[in-house]
Copies of this chain bind each other. A is one copy, B any other.
């Protein structure tokens, strides 16, 4: 195993980049330096230049109160790649926190943090990760809390877009689909440090861009444009981060019947035909899962970065876990 690069020691000496408690609950508290550091570490873990085994032997608890494929499997893979063990539940419905006993999230955190070295949690309620962090003895990583935030996804997005575009400074970054999603909020909070030329939203006509997201952009003098047709983004933007068209059901508890509308109108869908017609060079990203907002006929085009984004996610999750465990 290659020795860890000499550029790291100063940071490593101060432990986690995640501040007091070592929790990663939101991207709003990450500094530009933190993001640079995590991207560099992820990159070095991908190439084998960084020592992946530095935190070997730790135990990471994966607590998923809400459905997941890539976040859950991605953290599991990252945990193993660090020489650590994962404990947890892919269905917290089978835990005492969800059964008739109704154990509180606070007690769950107090208990699980006595048995492991870090907690990764997904939950349908806004603020649930913060509630667990308040009672946890070990770092808590928010893997999605309702409508609120999904910070590791945003770090993955930045990492993947930096690799795809070399840098984000001066670029036009577009968002297609529902602008209220937790991945959008977490990502915009990071994007303001990247100094893109503009952030472009192509939201459904009936869903306004949330005020806090508009404020985050304007506060940093980033131009914010709203467009009505994704063709414009295909023509003018360097990267497009797509999300499902309408995610109104994201805050619903498991078992609820309500489902968001499924059909993305043609004005908001990306297809191979449109990419060809607009001669688009825009790189396509997506936190996934997608519905019909990117047609599968795009999958083999050079624009399609969303599956490569999944491949890269492993290394960013390794970097995040490595830093969370560094406090221990």
Residue ranges of A at the interface with B (Cβ–Cβ < 8 Å)? 59, 61, 64, 67-70, 72-74, 76-77, 80, 85, 87-91, 93-104, 106-108, 110-112, 114-116, 244, 249, 252, 254, 259-260, 262, 288-291, 296, 299, 307-308, 310-311, 313-314
Contacts and interface: CB of A to CB of B under 8 A. Distances in A.
Contact of A96 (B68, B88, B95, B104): B68
Number of copies: 3
Nearest to A312: B114
B111 A310 contact: yes
Contacts of A291: 101-102
Nearest to A99: B67
A67 to B, nearest CB: 4
Contact of A69 (B76, B111, B310): B111
A64 B94 contact: yes
A97 to B, nearest CB: 6
B68 A111 contact: no
A73 B290 contact: no
Task: Kindly list the 7 A-B residue pairs having the minimum CB-CB distance in the complex, ordered from nearest.
Answer: A103-B289, A67-B99, A114-B311, A114-B310, A69-B95, A80-B85, A76-B87
A80 B57 CA distance: 9
25 contacts: A69-B95, A69-B108, A69-B112, A70-B111, A70-B112, A77-B115, A90-B91, A91-B91, A91-B93, A96-B288, A97-B289, A101-B289, A102-B262, A103-B288, A103-B289, A103-B290, A104-B296, A106-B296, A107-B290, A110-B299, A111-B307, A114-B311, A114-B314, A115-B310, A115-B314
Given A73-B115, A111-B288, A307-B110, A67 B80 contact: no
A259 B69 CA distance: 30
Nearest to A75: B87
A87 B93 CA distance: 19
A187 B112 CA distance: 23
Nearest to A71: B96
Contacts of A311: 114-115
Contact of A101 (B91, B97, B244): B244
Contacts of A68: 94-96
A85 B33 CA distance: 34
Given A87-B80, A299-B110, A98 B67 contact: yes
Nearest to A84: B80
A262 B89 CA distance: 26
B87 A59 contact: no
A95 to B, nearest CB: 4
Contacts of A61: 73
